[in-house]
């Protein structure tokens, strides 16, 4: 039976890697360090593309399963949390690995959490595989295909389009429309939040209107960070050639300016309405 990915536990950039300290039994420092070192070496072999080296950290009863599994090379991996069981002889480890995801022909980096099982054999920690007809994920239970003479078909990851849509939804604006006074200096704010597990880059289009600017207070937004998109009109801008034209006879028609977010390659339009400060 082909195993689509034994290392895959869940793919979801919104999955929080941080765990509350009292959620796990606290292991003696020597045990924790020994496990952390073995896990890091196991995943470093995946970073280096040396999968035979990774096999050195696989339990004997799981080597066939590991051999049959698809192998993925990552950019980097870091141990996020350790959960010990059975008097510190078994553990569940959450590891965050950086890789690339492709969506609509575009490539963008993501950080993916992987859950793996480890046990002590002959005084060393080893990765091992536990057969199951489902895996828990943020999208609910994922089950294998129907039973056949060769056994149950392997559990497969959730729909990649669904994953990509969830990733895209993790960058958001608190509003997409503002009103600026055209006959006086004024400022409006739109808040952009990055709920992804990786950093994003933000840029804006020029407005083409003298005195009016749209800018992000930071071009790089870290995971979990929120920034302001500032929409500012400077009535005293020397580029404005006709200030009386802004006062009379009426207001300008609305316009839109895009906020660009990479690497997810998404544009957020902000509608800018104009109003008179002086009646």
> Which residue segments constitute the domains of the chain, with CATH numbers given?
21-164 (3.10.450.50), 170-275 (2.60.40.10)
What pLDDT does 278 receive? 63
**H or E element at residue 161:** helix 160-169
- Contact 209/259 with Cβ under 8 angstroms? no
CA distance 194 to 203: 14
**For residue range 138-182, what is the model confidence (pLDDT) as tens digits?**
333 444 444 444 443 333 344 445 666 676 788 999 999 999 988
- Contact 5/74 with Cβ under 8 angstroms? no
Higher pLDDT, 80 or 279: 80
Surface-to-core class of residue 5, CB atoms within 10 Å of its CB (0-12 exposed, 13-18 middle, 19+ buried):
middle
Q: Shortest CA distance to 110 belongs to which of 47, 198, 5, 193?
A: 198
* Residue reference for tokens 């002889």: 89
Q: What are phi and psi of 156, to 5 degrees?
A: -115, 155
Q: What is the helix, strand, coil percentage profile of the chain, to 5?
A: 20, 40, 40
- Contact 264/107 with Cβ under 8 angstroms? no
* Mean pLDDT of the 24-52 span: 90
**Residue 203 binned pLDDT confidence (cut-offs 50, 70, 90):** very high
Contacts of 278 by beta carbon, 8 Å cutoff, 6+ apart: 183, 184, 247
Q: What angle do CA 229, 233, 234 make, to 5 degrees?
A: 130
Q: What is the pTM of this model?
A: 0.49
| Neighbour count for residue 1 (Cβ, 10 Å) | 12
Q: For 133, what's the count of Cα atoms within 13 Å in the CB-facing half-sphere?
A: 5
CA distance 172 to 202: 12
Q: What are phi and psi of 195, to 5 degrees?
A: -95, 10
pLDDT at 111 exceeding the cut of 70: yes
**For residue range 220-251, what is the model confidence (pLDDT) as tens digits?**
999 899 999 999 999 898 888 888 877 776 77
- Contact 171/192 with Cβ under 8 angstroms? yes
């Amino acid at each position: 039976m082909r195993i689509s990915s034994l290392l895959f536990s869940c793919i979801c950039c919104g999955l929080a890697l941080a765990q509350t300290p009292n959620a796990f039994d606290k292991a003696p420092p020597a045990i924790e360090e020994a496990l952390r070192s073995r896990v890091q070496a196991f995943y470093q072999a995946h970073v280096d593309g040396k999968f035979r080296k990774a096999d050195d950290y696989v339990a004997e009863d799981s080597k066939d399963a590991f051999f049959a599994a698809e192998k993925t090379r990552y950019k980097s991996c870091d141990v996020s949390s350790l959960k010990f069981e059975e008097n510190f002889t078994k553990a569940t480890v959450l590891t965050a690995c950086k890789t690339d995801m492709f969506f609509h022909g575009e490539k963008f980096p993501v950080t993916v959490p992987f859950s793996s099982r480890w046990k002590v054999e002959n005084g060393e920690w080893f990765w091992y595989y536990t057969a199951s007809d489902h895996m828990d994920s943020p999208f609910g239970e994922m089950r294998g295909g129907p039973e056949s003479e060769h056994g149950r078909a392997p559990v497969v990851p959730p729909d990649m389009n669904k994953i990509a849509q969830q990733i895209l939804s993790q960058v958001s604006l608190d509003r997409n429309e503002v009103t600026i006074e055209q006959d006086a200096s004024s400022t409006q704010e739109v808040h952009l939040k990055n709920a992804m597990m990786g950093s994003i880059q933000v840029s804006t289009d020029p407005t083409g209107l003298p005195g009016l600017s749209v800018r992000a207070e930071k071009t790089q937004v870290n995971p979990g960070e929120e920034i302001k998109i500032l929409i500012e009109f400077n009535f005293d801008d020397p580029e404005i050639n006709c200030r009386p034209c802004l006062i009379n006879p009426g207001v300008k028609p609305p316009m839109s300016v895009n906020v660009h977010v990479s690497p997810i390659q998404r544009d957020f339009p902000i509608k800018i309405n104009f109003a008179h400060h002086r009646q």
